Amino acid sequence: MGGYGDMQMIDENGLRVDGRSPGDIREITIETGVIPVADGSCRMTWGTNEAIVAVYGPMEAHPRKIQRQDRAVLDVAYNMAPFSTTDRMRPGFNRRSREISKVTKDALESVVLLELYPRSKIRVTIEIVSAEAGTRCVGLTAASVALADAGIPMTDLVVSVASGKINDVVVCDLNKEEDNYGEADLPMGILPNSGELVFLQMDGNLSQEEFMEAWQYNMDAAQVVHEMMVEALKRGDSQ
């Protein structure tokens, strides 16, 4: 959280820098089956974010020490490609991508029926090839679509959306400028059929009322994105 409101980002009509109303999300496209050699895959664009996710497995878990006798293990890796950011990103893992990999894994393990595949491994690779703001949300959402595309049984899809605050106004789905100069960011991972959560982070400064408003924006946006995910999966299935 950078400037703490020293930059005016909501105009006199209450519109944001890219012309959206506070509750609007950016444009989204979802496509499945984009990696021919993978068992399941998804390409998702969200604003100028673009994530590509591959799912391989269930397959043999090696080395053997990672095997679990009663369930499958999920191997989740989130990575940003070197050309995904304005300044080139040095390749390789860093603390940020490790943390995002971990929380994404924790979210997906909550919905995948791992006990159906004991001693095996399911590999989920999330690659951000273009980053704007909210890449962890795009990655997690696309990963759940890719798992469904691979035919891995899950209790629900996961929709991840972030809301935040700029110039004391609560807004849904922060873009790059809003993320840089905003005062708060609340990303959530929502199960659209039950309204339950599997992923939650927050940083910044929100009052109780603002927090509830951001929470509700995320819940509402999740329903909209969920419809697009289901539609993409049905479209992919018919091909």
Partner 1 sequence: MTIPIVPKLLRAHLSELSGKNARIDGRSQWEGRKLEVEHSVLPRAEGSARVRMGDTIVLAGVKFQLMQPYPDRPNQGGLMCSADVRPIAGRHWEAGPPSPEAIELGRVVDRGIRESGCIDVDSLCIIPGEKAWQVILDLFAVSDDGNLFDAFALAGIVALRNATLPAERFEVGKDYPLPVSKTPIMCSYHKVGGRFVYDACAREELGGDERIHITLGDDGNVHSLQKGLKGIFSTEEFTEIMTNAQGRTKELRKIVDSL
- Which is closer to partner 1, CB of 149 or CB of 213? 149
Give the residue with the Cβ less far from partner 1, 152 or 190: 152
What's the CA gap between 145 and 217, in Å, rounded? Answer: 22
Which of the 8 DSSP states describes residue 180? H
**Interaction of residue 88 with partner 1, rule CB under 8 A:** yes
> At how many degrees (to 10) do helices 135-149 and 95-109 cross?
40
Three-class SS of residue 234? helix
Report CA torsion sign: 66, 67, 73, 77. positive
Distance CA 145, CA 213 (A): 27
CB 122 within 8 A of CB 113: no
* 72: contact with partner 1 by CB under 8 A: no
Segment 178 to 197, residues that bind partner 1, using CB under 8 A:
none
In angstroms, give the least distance from the CB of 74 to partner 1: 13
Q: Which one of residues 1, 81, 224, 228 is an interface residue with partner 1 (CB under 8 A)? A: 81
Q: C-beta of 108: minimal distance to partner 1 in Å?
A: 16
User: Per CB under 8 A, does 135 bind partner 1?
Assistant: no
Binding-site ranges for partner 1 (CB under 8 A): 34-38, 48, 50, 52-54, 56, 59, 77, 79, 81-88, 91-92, 123, 125, 127, 129-131
